[in-house]
Structure 1
Amino acid sequence: MLSLALVALVELQQPQVPDAVLPEVVVTGTRLPSRTATESPVPIDVLSRQDLISTGAVGGELGQAISVLAPSFNFPRQSNSGTSDHIRAGQLRGLSPDQTLVLVNGRRRHPSAIVNTETKIGRGTAAVDLNTIPLGAVGRVEVLRDGAGAVYGSDAIAGVINVILDERPSGFEISTSYGFHRTDVGAIGQTLTDGETFTLSASGGMALGDGGFLRAGVGYRDRKATNRAGFDQIPFFIAATPANLALAGQRNYAEGDPAVEALGLWFNAAVPVAGGELYGFGTAGHSDTEGATFFRYPDGTDNLTAIYPQGFLPITTGEDDDLALTAGWRAPLGAWRSDISLTYGRNEFTYGVRNSLNASLGTATPRAFRSGTYLFDQTSTNLDLTRTVPIGSIEADVATGLEYRHETYETRAGDLASYAAGPLALAIGAQGAPGLDPTDERSVSRDVGGAYLEVGLRPTERLLIEGAVRAETYSDFGETLTGKLAGSYALSPTVHLRGAVSNSVRAPFLGQTAFTDRTVNFGVGGTLASTRTLPVSDPIARSLGAEDLREERAFNLSAGVTAAPVVGLTLSLDAFRIQVDDRITLSDRFFGQTLEAFVQAQPGGTGLQSVRFFTNAVDTETTGVDAVASWRIPFSAGQLTLGAGYSYAETEITGRRATPAALLALDPTFALIGVEEINTLEEAAPRWKALLSAEWTADRYRLLGRLNGYGSTVRVFNFGGGFEPRQEYGSETSVDLEGAFDVTENLTWAAGVTDLLDNYPDRSDPAINYFGNLPWDVLSPVGINGRFLYTRLTARF
């Protein structure tokens, strides 16, 4: 019905859109000649540099800025969630974070080395850490909302995020901002000021040769932690001693954002040389982060009152070092246009904890520990060739190429004291972040080779057809073949129908085959239990029925319509369905007396109370629709830009693998995939997200207002014994405002507020709020931090 209405409107008015309001040319989704977003056979969102900066993204986070602008992208926050407090991951169209491919300037970005096992959204995934790319380095972001495995290879099931770096060839710019949360925390009846945030971004550019450029810069951000914890009611399973009970009514826990200090460097360059062009770009960054864990009470087996007479709250630490470099050469090669490049990416994450102890070591215990180090390296070599080939009376655009990729993954043990069993019969290992021991160390690698072919045809002036096929071989599990067929048809000069069908794969991340960690998680009745994530090759995992991981296989369908019915107005509506077979997830956490006895009787099982492993356990189907509108019109001596976006994505599990016999023999109630993981896949993310925005710009002024709305979310816990509390959190909204004023030609001052109305999600029920300590669940995309006020000053020379 919408497409018919658009056609009718176009028949009444078909104006030429002036150059000033033409949509940007996009380069994502194909290696064939570029086109505008409205002409593309697949949906693409273009997020400009100015729009990203104007989001007021808390802490200067690129991922958060994209989430504010792209209706189909969700970027949840975590708390009390192990490594997930330190590395945030986003999701596109409701799928897992590792099912979205991230590119920088069209080249594959390496993922984080850490596999987040304690997060809710994206549990068991290792996604690209978007926040390692300084926000000030970005020229624009293109978000492709469609499967693209045949074009780019593994991981592009939900779509592609292409971060295009700033390439302005001249000028120097420096920008600094300061902000803080000022919020009424209803759970404790107090008004708090925290999360103080300072950012600094600087970059400069210069021309190189005839048409070349160099742009380089630095980004720094310092954000203090936030805390929205409630008053402690003291868990029932904690010993009822005077020292423990004296802590009732206090804020002993922490719930909120971690503290972050991060420094990033970047460059982007191209220079004409000998009839071709040399180019290169890269980023390098280091961050130190601090998260929170659960409080340890004075009188318990996990504390020494001689060290912490009033108990202690362990603070997890993360040191993240990230490097990405690309060098390439573009030049004619006979009738072809060639592009050869080498890309190297490396991430090293060191996990630790301070304000802690290993109780079993007695008073000789350290109070700070390095719990383990995770490393991932990725080297990619690409050869891309493009040309136009005449076929009868028409021409075909052809792209073909080869890719070779080498990946390595490594885990290293923590400090001896972080895992050692001391002479005392007390809790073993560093509280808050038990260390990896030498038996947990792994080193794995693989080689990936690929070849692709893309062809684009215009059989008629109105019809565009694109096809792609890609073959890849993996040294660790075999061969894959993917294909894509997409097309668009111009009903009129301003209305296009479009659609695509494709299949994609996602190879198991090396970390999912080799990753292991030791955490403390919920056990029977909500008590804390020692949990180990086992690699599928581990003998204990094998004895419980674990199998080698296979690739995920996806099938995508999409169809939509775009229109520009009046000057400055663009509309798009796209429906999609994504089927994923053999989806990789974490198994349920298996615990209980029988399981404990079985695991602890095996080598390496000492002290373990709960285990889990990765598995190709489920098939899923995600269906949904995206709608985007933008309208630019003259208004009051300036220009008014109105925007609206809506995304709906619903995921259902359509198939499950049977629970291994070895698990059922231990407990017939065990299920390979439990209620928590089912909840993660189907209901933990909001099914819908909506965006309304209005921006007015004049000679020296800019005013921006934005409303974000999010659908409901559901949280389910499994505390054993059939106790599986469930709560639905209602839909939420957030209102953001920003104003900017050009003080001089070279100096701009801006001020704004995010979450103007200081909105919070629903409070958690008593069965879920961990005895009053965690009043809000982190599932809601509106967050639990409340109102954020900020100001920004930008100078240009």
Structure 2
Amino acid sequence: MTQLRPLALAVSQTLLATAALAQTAPSALDAVIVTGTRAKDRTLADTAVPVDVLSRDDVLRAAGPDGNLAAALQALLPSFNFPRQSNSGGGDHVRAAQLRGLSPDQVLVLVNGRRRNTSAVVNLESKTGKGTNPVDFNTIPLSAVARIEVLRDGAGAQYGSDAIAGVVNIILDERASGGELVTEAGAFHTKFAPTGQTLTDGQTQSASVTQGWTLADHGFVRAGLEGLHRNATNRAGLDELPPWEDQSAANLATVGQRNYAPGEPATNQWQAWFNGATDVEPGTRAYAFGTWQQRRTLGAAYYRYPDSSANVKSVYPDGYRPQTTGDNRDLQLVAGLKGQWGSWDYDLALNHGQNDFSYGVRRTLNASLGAASPREFHLADFGSRLTALQLDLSRELDVAGLARPLTLAWGLEVREDRFVTGAGDAASYQVGPVVAPAGAQAGPGLQAGDATRLSRRVAGAYVDLSADLTHDWQANLALRHDHYGDFGGATTAKLSTRLALDRTLALRGAVSSNFRAPSLAQQGFAFTVTDRGDGGVLSQVRTLPVDNAVARYLGAQDLKAETSRNASVGLSWQPDKAWSTTLDAYAIRVKNRITLSQRISRDGLADELLAKFGVSGVDGVNFFTNALDTRTRGADLVTQWRGAALGGELSLGWTASFNRTTVRGGDSVGLEEINTLTDASPRQRHILSAQWQGGAWGLSGRLTRHGSTTRVFDFGDGFVPTQTYAAVWQLDVEAQVQLTKALALTLGAINATDRYPTRSISDISYFGNFPYDVLSSVGFNGAYYYARARFSF
């Protein structure tokens, strides 16, 4: 209890200073929404399913040192989780996000209602999202956002694959005039208890400029450019030297030093975007939008000790810590026509998205090559492509007995998905003449024989009905069928309804079936690690596609689509225009969840596979599998109030999320993967928020309680260290002053009270080097302070 007193004092002072805890209030309840409905007049107040709407100012305030949308969504939405990764290979460079505690690839991301391409990176070393390649939220520029609509409900019958947990729809800015220049600078400044130091690092500078232009024929173009630079952070503890390392004088000299570097990766990125439309003839409007990003990141890997077998001492006499490198390039371009075709409204769009990731490592070596080894390696190339043509049609129909015209919508979509991988440098996976660990340390590279090129075609059709059956009762029905050329078809359905019980209170609910098609990466990704085994014999551990003959022999089967049954019921209460509350409970059953199997390894496996397939030296195999079923149950609460106070306008909010996932099956995936699906993300999160705006001044704050998380490691032979990290409170504050009509200045702090998660126990902290785990949503970097200037012109 005593630990909470400083936090309580800080909160009390903030309350006195700001007259409340604060965040920008959600958008007005009468705002028309476009996500989760085909009707053109549904508002936030009368939606049949839970939808959150966040404004551009919400997002900009909450993005913090990460400078990306997912960080803002985690800060604003308790059901959204964006855990950090560190020393996690590709996970250091592309972070995965979750909605309602489900898998990162079970949330569908749209931009202006069009499907966003996924990341090309296959995360095999990260905790959250292992084996997935979901959308990288960091590729969407902050300055492009007009608002974000988050549908917290299954929507496969409306949008197709991936929408099991819900949909995030980013609506781009379309202001036709005026411009903005926004610059921001900040840094982490923290008291780091494990080493007794006061650290300042992670210095971040960013700038963005946007401008709008009016075109003839009621047209507009708005475009923007962003740049960001961030230094790395380091939250390593003092090294104790793992007992299996040589207890030599050179190795013992590293004890008590900070040899590792868990933290945020160094980042340099550029982003650009545009959004525009114009009338090409009366009743016909052409539109186009696009986003582009190039991001270079520098991650950290495990330290190699001076007298380690993975070191060549003549090259690195003091040992070395490799750095992983990522070069991420992302592009989305959409062009379309919308207008009237007889009595139908139509929208025809061509959508192309692509992501390319070049992966490398530097300050390293291939010890089996000795002193002749390169010090830097290209490890692999990854690429994903999405090209889709989509036609949507809708109209209103007068039906006798209905309170309002019925909305009928239907549409067609054809899409091609592609996934490619390219080999790394030969030296990055080569087994050299020296008896030492082979392949690039913190690698190895993708071997030439594992390079993959896959594609598939998808065709889908849907029909959607939305009707007000009476003045107080609305109902919505959607049906969709998608056919995938590589694994078959899926039919989904959704029924949602809302019943106004009186002027202030409404009951709402939905039932739906949804699916997620196995990604091309999960269908065909291959990776081999080659090294010397017992007696110097070459040995391989292989990740194989499910159609590989060896994988088939060991139990692999064709991957099925993940399918879900979603049900939700909720209450919406709005006693007056100033106050509203929604409470929604839900249950999601997912069958055939796809995950990476445990490594299959047994005595005599190499001889067995050599005799049967002529493949030599394979001592271990894993592959993707439909290994288990899960059930997630939870509830989301959103309450907000807005009114006059202290000579200005005050907005208060409390949002909360509760969920729990349980697993059936899972014998083939192991304890760590089950932990990832069930306990590794917070089961609860509460956000207390408010904002006060009076004249030129604005004051805000946000108090978040991140729920507990549990980490499980399975090191084999019954050694399964487990730790539950306690819930943590986080306080964010901000003050803004409008100096002139054009210029506004902002000062703020994220995690202002410098909170950290629970210290990891000795069996998990890797001999003092990783004192804090990556699981807690509060992160492990401490307090971040920033200043922002916005100039409007």
Whether the 8 Å contact between 2:408 and 2:464 is mirrored in structure 1 is yes
Residue 158 of structure 2 aligns to a residue whose secondary structure is helix
Once residues 351 and 541 of structure 1 are traced to their aligned partners in structure 2, the CA distance between those partners, rounded to angstroms, is 26
- State how far apart, in whole Å, the 2-side matches of 1:285 and 1:20 are: 29
Listed one character per residue, the Cα deviations across residues 81-130 of structure 1 (whole Å, up to 9, x for unaligned) are 11000001110000000000000000000100111121111211111001
TM superposition shift of 1:535: 2.2
Query: 1:788 is matched with which residue?
Result: 784
Q: 1:34 to 1:21 in 2, by over 3 A?
A: closer
**Is 1:561 the equivalent of 2:571?**
yes
Q: Corresponding residue for 2:412?
A: 402
Is 1:314 the counterpart of 2:310 in the alignment?
no
Structure 1 residue 698: deviation in Å? Answer: 1.4
Corresponding position of 1:42: 49
The structure 2 residue matched to 1:723, chosen from 719, 726, 735, is: 719
Residue 768 of structure 2 aligns with which residue?
772
1:502 to 505, 512, 516: 512
**Paired residue for 2:590?**
580
User: What does residue 13 of structure 1 align with?
Assistant: none
Displacement after TM superposition at 1:38 (Å): 2.1
Structure 1 residues 694 and 586 mapped into 2: Cα distance closer, same or farther (>3 Å)?
A: same
Q: State the shift of 1:511 in Å.
A: 0.7
Alpha-carbon distance between aligned partners in 2 of 1:55 and 1:777, rounded to the nearest angstrom: 23
Deviation for aligned residue 1:592: 6.9
Give the aligned residue type for 2:199: L
How far does the alpha carbon of each residue in 1:579-637 deviate from its partner, in whole angstroms, 9 at most, with x for none? 00001111124457666776799989877765422110000000000000111111122
Decide which moves more: 151-160 or 762-771. Answer: 762-771
Q: Match for 1:42: what amino acid?
A: V
Q: 2:62 aligns with which of 55, 73, 83?
A: 55
Matching residue's letter, 1:422: G
Find the counterpart in structure 2 of residue 693 from structure 1.
Answer: 689
Structure 1 residue matching 2:87: 3-state secondary structure: coil
* TM-score normalised by structure 2 residue count: 0.93
| Aligned residues of 1:258 and 1:290 also touching (Cα < 8 A) | yes
Quick check: 1:142 aligned with 2:149?
yes
Following TM superposition, by how much is the alpha carbon of 1:468 offset from its aligned partner in structure 2, in angstroms? 0.4
Cα separation, partners in 2 of 1:303 and 1:375, compared to 1, 3 Å? same
Cα deviation 1:23-47 (Å, max 9, x = unaligned) = 4221101222241112100000001
Larger mean Cα displacement after TM superposition, 99-108 or 629-638: 629-638
- From 540, 553, 561, the counterpart of 1:551: 561
Select the residue among 732, 748, 752 that pairs with 1:752.
748
Matching of residue 244 in structure 1 with residue 251 in structure 2:
yes
Does structure 1 conserve the Cα–Cα contact (< 8 Å) formed by 2:238 and 2:257? yes
- What does residue range 60-459 of structure 1 map to in structure 2 within 5 Å? 60-275=67-282, 276-394=284-402, 395-459=405-469
CA contact (8 A) 1:59 1:221 kept: no
Contact 2:346 2:393 in 1 (8 A): yes
Q: Distance in 1 between matches of 2:781 and 2:765?
A: 17
Report Cα offsets for 1:261-311 as digits up to 9, x if no partner: 111110011111112110011101100001111111122321111110111
Whichever residue aligns with residue 313 of structure 2, its letter is T
SS in 1 for 2:312: coil
Is the Cα contact below 8 Å between 2:643 and 2:649 reproduced in 1? yes
| Structure-2 residue corresponding to 1:622 | 632
Q: Name 1:10's counterpart in structure 2.
A: none
Shift of 1:136: 1.0
In 2, are the aligned partners of 1:56 and 1:753 still within 8 Å (CA)?
A: no
Distance in 2 between residues matched to 1:534 and 1:24, nearest whole Å: 49
Inter-CA distance 709–531: structure 2 relative to 1 (3 Å threshold) = farther
The alpha carbon displacement at 1:239 in A equals: 1.7
**Offset from partner CA, 1:511-530 (integer Å, 9 cap, x none):** 11112345799x9xxxxx98
Structure 2 runs not aligned, ≥5 long: 1-25, 534-538
The verdict on how the C-alpha distance between 1:765 and 1:732 changes in structure 2, with shifts beyond 3 A counting, is: same
Q: State the SS of the aligned residue for 1:71.
A: coil
Say if 1:413 and 1:213 are closer, same or farther in 2 by CA, change over 3 A. Answer: same
What is the CA-CA distance between 1:327 and the residue it aligns to? 0.2
Q: Give the CA deviation at 1:645.
A: 0.2
C-alpha distance in 2 between matches for 1:638 and 1:538: 67
Mapped partners of 2:608, 2:326: distance in 1? 33
User: CA shift at 1:570, angstroms?
Assistant: 1.4
Work out whether 1:638 is the aligned partner of 2:648.
yes
Amino acid at match of 1:31: R
Change (3 A) 1:156 1:21: closer
Question: Would you say 1:535 and 2:545 are equivalent positions?
Answer: yes
Distance, in Å, in 1 between the alignment partners of 2:733 and 2:437 is 50
Contact (CA 8 Å) 2:188, 2:783: kept in 1 or not? yes
- Cα deviation, 1:337-363, whole Å, max 9, x if unaligned, reads 010000000000111100011111222
Contact 1:59-1:222 at 8 Å conserved across structures: no
Contact 1:59–1:199, Cα closer than 8 Å, also in 2? no
SS in structure 1 of the partner of residue 413 of structure 2? strand
Matched-pair identity in %? 48
Q: Which string of whole-angstrom CA distances, capped at 9 and with x for unpartnered residues, describes residues 422-454 of structure 1?
A: 222221111101001111111111000000000
For 1:547 and 1:427, locate their aligned partners in 2 and report how far apart those are by CA, in whole Å: 33
How far apart are the structure 2 equivalents of 1:390 and 1:120?
A: 53
Match of 2:17 in 1: none
CA displacement at 1:542 relative to structure 2: 2.6
**What secondary structure is seen at the aligned counterpart in 2 of 1:36?**
coil
Tell me if the contact between 1:433 and 1:519 (Cα under 8 Å) persists in the aligned partners: no
Structure 2: how far apart are the matches of 1:519 and 1:243? 29
Matched position secondary structure for 2:431? coil
3-state SS of the aligned residue for 2:109?
strand
Match of 1:512, SS state, is: helix
- The structure-2 alpha-carbon separation of the partners of 1:518 and 1:740, relative to structure 1 and needing over 3 Å to count, comes to farther
> What one-letter code is carried by the residue in structure 1 that aligns with 2:119?
S
The 2-side partners of 1:768 and 1:520 are apart by 28
CA contact (8 A) 1:353 1:370 kept: yes
Instruction: Output the CA distance in 2 between the equivalents of 1:110 and 1:651.
Output: 28
Partner secondary structure for residue 484 of structure 1: strand
TM-score, scaled to structure 1? 0.93
Q: Within 2, Cα distance between the matches of 1:197 and 1:593?
A: 52
- Does 1:460 find its partner at 2:474? no
- Structure 2: how far apart are the matches of 1:64 and 1:711? 17
* Alpha-carbon distance between aligned partners in 1 of 2:300 and 2:665, rounded to the nearest angstrom: 36
Cα contact 2:86–2:299 (8 A) shared by 1: yes
Cα distance in structure 1, aligned partners of 2:91 and 2:289: 29
Number of residue pairs aligned between Structure 1 and Structure 2: 759
Cα displacement (A) at 1:159: 0.2
- Residue 488 in 1 paired to residue 498 in 2? yes
What is aligned with 2:704? 708
Maintained 8 Å contact 2:606/2:616: no
For the 8 Å contact 1:499–1:560, the answer to whether it is kept is: yes
Q: Look up the equivalent residue of 1:355 and give its one-letter code.
A: R
Q: State the Cα distance separating 1:392 from its structure 2 match.
A: 2.1
Q: Please, which runs of 5 or more residues in structure 1 have no aligned partner?
A: 1-18, 524-528, 657-670
Per-residue CA deviations over 1:726-780 (Å, capped at 9, x if unaligned) read 1111111110000000111000000100001100001111111111111111000
